[in-house]
Structure 1
Amino acid sequence: MIAGVDPAEWQKLLGQANSGQLSLDPEIGKGLDKVCDDYLDRLNTLMKSSARLRYLGGFGSFQSGKDLQAKFSKKAFGGDQSLEIVLQQHMDAVKTAKEVVAKAISNFVGVDQQNADGYTNTEVPK
């Protein structure tokens, strides 16, 4: 779970959007893709910056220092809940959210167009 948001919820919403059950007015959704892109850029910057944490130093030559160095390195990369994994989970969730918004807007526009076509094809009594 990412900061209280279960990534499975975004997958569920994506399924609903793909099946046409979810729609979003383009006026409400406008700008959300940019928000997602900006957040992805920030997360990518953090991911690149965090690469410096892969090789930590300054813990000394004693075994306890080496153990601490390994422990803290795993917090950044390689561990189950490492910074690397958490950042990647965030990026995946944002990409899915962006996909949900795009599909939901597409659904709204499609239904709107179908309705407009229905009115266009309606004969007006004379």
Structure 2
Amino acid sequence: MAETEQADMQGMLTRWQTLKKQAEGGEFRLDEQIGQDLARHAEQMRTKLQNMLNKAGELEHLSGFGSLTSAGDLRNKFALKANNGDDSAVKRLKQSIDVVILMKETYELAIGKLKESDQSAADRLAALNAGGS
């Protein structure tokens, strides 16, 4: 199951990298208000994920498992699940933060390109009007 989730996360990252390239090239555009709202929401998601990341990092310091060898093994297993393990919560949250940052940047580029296009069209129209008057 972890491999499937890892593949899904990599697929999301790749998809947003593609959308960002399209936004940079002007192929992906968004209405300014919609793009600003989406970028703001992405920033809110990043903040929430960062808070979760901070809390997850604290989970590697566990206690209360007792003194048996198996209790120590169990504590270590849970600590790795929280942080430093291949499938740790911290690693997953960092990946999610990377995707959300990419989303925000993509939205900002997409509205920026639309603004540039609108300004360019307005400038051309003004030049035509000025030349035709």
Give the CA deviation at 1:5: 6.2
Give the CA deviation at 1:27: 2.4
Q: How far apart are the structure 2 equivalents of 1:97 and 1:16? A: 12
Which residue number corresponds to residue 64 of structure 1? 70
Is residue 35 of structure 2 the alignment partner of residue 35 of structure 1? no
**What is the TM-score of this pair, normalised by structure 2?**
0.85
Give the CA deviation at 1:118: 1.2
Gaps of 5+ in 1: none
Matches within 5 A, 1:82-97: 82-97=88-103
Identical residues among aligned pairs (%):
32
Give the CA deviation at 1:97: 0.2
Of 58, 73, 80, the match for 1:74 = 80
Q: How far apart are the structure 2 equivalents of 1:30 and 1:111? A: 17
Of 4, 8, 19, the match for 2:14 = 8
Q: How far apart are the structure 2 equivalents of 1:81 and 1:8? A: 20
Of 99, 109, 117, the match for 2:105 = 99
Which residue number corresponds to residue 52 of structure 1? 58
Give the CA deviation at 1:103: 0.3
Which residue number corresponds to residue 4 of structure 2? none
Which AA in structure 2 matches 1:60? G
**What is the TM-score of this pair, normalised by structure 1?**
0.89
Which AA in structure 2 matches 1:15? K
Q: Is the 8 A contact 2:39 2:103 kept in 1?
A: no
SS of 1:31's partner is helix
Which AA in structure 2 matches 1:42? K
Q: How far apart are the structure 1 equivalents of 2:31 and 2:50? A: 29
Which residue number corresponds to residue 124 of structure 1? 132
Gaps of 5+ in 2: 1-7
- How many aligned residue pairs are there? 124
Give the CA deviation at 1:124: 3.1
Residues 77-126 of structure 1, C-alpha deviation per residue, up to 9 Å, x if partnerless? 0111110011101111110000000000000011111111111111437x
Q: How far apart are the structure 2 equivalents of 1:83 and 1:41? A: 16
